């Protein structure tokens, strides 16, 4: 209970800018949890992309389809959809495959820009809180220039918002780096699967 009271006390002494900083921290938590759950459901394993590309290179389209049908994630769904529609796509196969890959990639990238905004916004909000806190401290110094302890305490409290802003930005940067790593890996797998589909099915159509 003492820790909670101390934290609440620090928060209240940070000034009005602590409230938008609180919203930023909650947004980081929400985005991290939401993207992690979404990626767990939508990102195919890299092993799938590697094995699928091997089968398509060897001309084993049926085995590749069975692999895609038994796997999860957007790369597997892309492969399954294109292989099911290949006979009806004809010359549009390439454009459809890459269009679907781009759409899945865009869905995976959703909300990541918000983390970038929070990374830039949090330190600025913290600095704004510090500046307003220092202005309040200096304005209250009139006629109390001898009270150096009070001025020092006021300046220390004014820095609380900056500390909170920097902490939020650092955490958001770590979350953003982790999620971007997952996204780039998934995007690479999507493009690899799309390339394998286009090259494998195009060669098959030419040989027919």
1-51 pLDDT tens trace: 567 777 787 778 777 888 999 999 999 999 999 999 999 999 999 899 999
Residue 145 scores a pLDDT above 60: no
pLDDT of residue 190: 96
State the distance between the two ends of the chain, measured CA to CA, in whole angstroms. Answer: 75
CA geometry: angle 137, 140, 142, nearest 5 deg: 130
Among 28-32, 81-85, 120-124, the range scoring the smallest mean pLDDT is: 81-85
Residue 200 scores a pLDDT above 80: yes
**182 vs 10, which has greater pLDDT?**
182
Under a CB-based contact definition with an 8 Å cutoff, are residues 75 and 191 in contact? Answer: no
State the pLDDT confidence band at 108, using cuts at 50, 70 and 90.
very high
Average pLDDT rounded to a whole number, residues 89-95 = 84
Give this prediction's pTM: 0.86
Percentage with pLDDT > 90 across the chain: 63
Residue 112 scores a pLDDT above 80: yes
Residue 201 scores a pLDDT above 80: yes
C-alpha distances (whole Å) from 40 to each of 45, 73, 145, 179, 193 are: 10, 8, 60, 11, 19
Burial of 185 (0-12, 13-18, 19+ CB in 10 A): middle
Residue 134 scores a pLDDT above 50: yes
Distance (Å, rounded) from C-alpha 24 to C-alpha 144? 37
Residue 86 scores a pLDDT above 50: yes
Average pLDDT rounded to a whole number, residues 77-106 = 90
């Amino acid at each position: 209970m003492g820790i909670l009271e101390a934290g609440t006390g620090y928060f209240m002494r940070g000034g009005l800018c602590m409230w938008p900083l609180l919203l930023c921290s909650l947004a980081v938590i929400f985005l991290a949890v939401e993207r992690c759950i979404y990626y767990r459901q939508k990102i195919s394993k890299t092993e799938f992309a590697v094995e699928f590309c091997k089968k398509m290179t060897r001309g084993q389209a049926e085995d590749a389809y069975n692999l895609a049908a038994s796997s999860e994630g957007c790369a597997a769904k892309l492969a399954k959809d294109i292989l099911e529609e290949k006979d009806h796509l004809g010359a549009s196969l390439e454009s459809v495959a890459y269009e679907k890959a781009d759409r899945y990639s865009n869905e995976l990238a959703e909300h990541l820009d918000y983390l970038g905004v929070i990374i830039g916004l949090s330190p600025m909000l913290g600095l704004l809180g510090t500046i307003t806190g220092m202005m309040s401290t200096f304005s209250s110094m009139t006629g109390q220039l001898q009270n150096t302890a009070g001025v020092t305490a006021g300046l220390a409290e004014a820095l609380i918002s900056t500390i909170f802003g920097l902490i939020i930005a650092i955490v958001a940067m770590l979350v953003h780096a982790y999620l971007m790593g997952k996204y780039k890996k998934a995007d690479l797998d999507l493009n690899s699967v799309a390339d394998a589909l286009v090259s494998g099915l195009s060669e098959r159509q030419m040989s027919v």
